[in-house]
Amino acid sequence: MSRPIVVDSVAALRAQIRAWRQDGLRIAMVPTMGALHDGHISLVRIALEKADRCLVSIFVNPTQFAPTEDLDKYPRQLARDLERLAEAGAHLAFTPTVSEIYPAGFATKISVGGPSSGLESDFRPTFFDGVATVVAKLFLQALPDYAIFGEKDYQQLCVVRQLCRDLDLPVEIIGAPTVRDAHGLAMSSRNAYLGEAELKVARKLNAILRRTASALTGSADEAGATDAAARALVEAGFQRVDYVAARESQTLAPWRRGRDGRLLAAAWLGKTRLIDNVEIPAA
């Protein structure tokens, strides 16, 4: 088991990428905020299937957190993350500091419209500007051939695809299926916040969404079905539901019956906010 090369500066990152390019190697990138779990490792495996070299970035991006959110307590476990990357076979870990990504005087922001509208943006209005800005910087720093993102953060995946199309970034974005535990709970770094009783409640989220998506594939009224899903989440033990919404798969425009769709939800358990989504198959 060989450990990945670890670099924390853009200059060192580019030097390693340049050496690989001179050898004719193709590169896949997995952008993360660390606290790696099996979902992240599944992305590394896909990267290794697609390319000769796998680069994983580990950076807790402050610009995608609002002042009231959990930036300070977001789990950080770099040593363990590097062990997991070694076990998975990743070749390079990019672990920059905040000042490396956002040096003194940094004053640029990227704002993506289209799929960023609504859903998460209604509750986290600064989130996607932060995501788009840091992802654009990472792509320009590394210039990978591929980048792998999990479908668990489905709206984010759509926003990143829009970003690359609109700015002509030469990176192929690959969406990877959500990895779940044996009870259907989507893997997330924030699951570490949940106690055992909360985990039992959290594991009901996906089942409720799957049941609702099945109803929508049939003849269920969209507003009635999504309202019923929100009530079911509260009855299951969630304290608050931010949204349960049906959207078209590619654009996240309002869903139309007969089209491929996604049912997306965000709900709170104590101080932990969980998101998930499931496919709405075309009838």
Question: Is 189 known to sit in a ligand binding site?
Answer: yes
List beta partners, residue 172: 146
Name 54's Cβ contacts closer than 8 Å, sequence gap at least 6.
27, 28, 29, 30, 44, 47, 48, 89, 90, 91, 92
d(C-alpha 96, C-alpha 157), whole Å? 23
Q: Distance between CA atoms of 126 and 1, rounded to whole angstroms?
A: 40
Q: Is 40 a catalytic residue?
A: yes
- Point out which residues pair with 29 in neighbouring strands: 55, 147
Is 40 annotated to bind a ligand? Reply is yes
Q: Is 64 known to sit in a ligand binding site?
A: yes
Ligand-binding site membership of 179 (annotated): yes
| Distance, CA of 280 to CA of 249 (rounded, Å) | 9
Question: Is 227 a known ligand-binding residue?
Answer: no
114 is in an annotated binding site: no
Is 34 flagged in the annotation as binding?
A: yes
Known binder of ligand: residue 242? no
Burial degree of 29 (CB within 10 A; 0-12, 13-18, 19+): buried
> Catalytic pick from 10, 13, 40, 264?
40
Q: Is 16 annotated as a binding residue?
A: no
152 is in an annotated binding site: yes
Residues 256, 181: Cα–Cα separation, whole Å: 31
Say if residue 18 carries a ligand binding annotation.
no
Cα atoms in the 13 Å half-sphere on the side-chain side of 210: 9
Is residue 77 marked as binding?
A: no
Task: Give the number of other CB atoms < 10 A from CB of residue 24.
Answer: 7
**């509208």: which residue's tokens?**
117
- 39 labeled binding residue: yes
Task: List, as residue ranges, the binding site for beta-alanine.
Answer: 64
Task: List, as residue ranges, the binding site for (R)-pantoate.
Answer: 64, 156
Tell me the catalytic residues.
40
Task: List, as residue ranges, the binding site.
Answer: 33-40, 64, 150-153, 156, 179, 187-190
Task: List, as residue ranges, the binding site for ATP.
Answer: 33-40, 150-153, 179, 187-190
